[in-house]
Amino acid sequence: MQKRRFNNSNSNRKFGDRSRFRRGGSSQKKRGFSATRIDISKFIQKVMPAEEDIAYKPENKFIDFEIDNRLKTSVVRKGYSEPTPIQDKIIPLILKGRDVVGIANTGTGKTAAFLIPAINKTLLNKRNKTIIIVPTRELAFQIEKEFREFTFGMHLFSMLCIGGTSVRDQLRKAKMNNDFVIGTPGRIKDLVQRKALNMANFQTIVLDEADRMLDMGFVEDMRFLMAQMPAQKQALLFSATLPDEIERLSRQFLNNPEKVSVKTRESSTNVNQDIVKVGDPAKKLDVLCDLLNKKEFTKVLVFGKTKHGVEKLSKSLMQKGFKAESIHGDKTQSRRKRAVDMFKSGIVRILVATDVAARGLDIDNVSHVINYDIPATYDDYVHRIGRTGRGKKKGEALTFI
pLDDT at 49: 55
Domains defined for the chain, CATH in brackets: 8-50+269-400 (3.40.50.300), 62-261 (3.40.50.300)
Rounded to whole angstroms, how far apart are CA atoms 120 and 115? 8
What is the rounded CA–CA span in Å between residue 382 and residue 379? Answer: 5
d(CA 60, CA 65): 7
Residue 280 burial (CB count, 10 A): 8
202 alpha-carbon distance from chain centroid = 23
pLDDT of residue 27: 35
Contacts of 198 (CB under 8 A, 6+ apart): 192, 228
pLDDT at site 268 = 67
The b-or-e profile of 351-378 (16+ CB within 10 A means b, else e) is: bbbbbbbbbbbbbeebbbbbbbbbbbbb
Contacts of 106 (CB under 8 A, 6+ apart): 240, 268, 359, 382, 383, 386, 390
Cβ–Cβ under 8 Å, residues 314 and 275:
no
Instruction: Tell me how long the chain is.
Output: 401
Q: What does the alpha-carbon distance between residue 363 and residue 215 come to, in Å, rounded to a whole number?
A: 23
pLDDT at res. 11: 35
Q: Are 284 and 278 in contact (CB under 8 A)?
A: yes
Query: Cα–Cα distance between 189 and 193 in angstroms, integer?
Result: 6
Note whether 204 and 176 are within 8 A (CB).
no
Q: What is the pLDDT of residue 378?
A: 83
At residue 88, the pLDDT reads: 96
Q: Cα separation of 324 and 138, whole Å?
A: 19
pLDDT at 5: 38
* DSSP-based three-state secondary structure for 225: helix
Are the C-beta atoms of 205 and 128 separated by less than 8 Å? no
> Cα–Cα distance between 74 and 60 in angstroms, integer?
17
pLDDT tens, per residue, the chain with 401 residues: 444 433 333 333 333 333 333 333 333 333 333 334 677 888 888 775 544 446 788 999 998 999 999 999 999 999 898 999 999 999 999 999 999 999 987 778 999 999 999 999 999 999 999 999 999 998 999 999 999 999 999 999 999 999 888 899 999 999 999 999 999 999 999 999 999 999 999 999 999 999 889 888 899 999 999 999 999 999 999 998 888 999 999 999 999 999 999 865 556 678 999 999 998 989 999 999 999 999 999 999 999 999 999 999 999 999 999 999 999 888 888 898 899 999 999 999 999 999 876 666 778 899 999 999 999 888 788 888 988 987 778 899 999 99
List for the chain the helix, strand, coil content (%; round to 5): 40, 15, 45
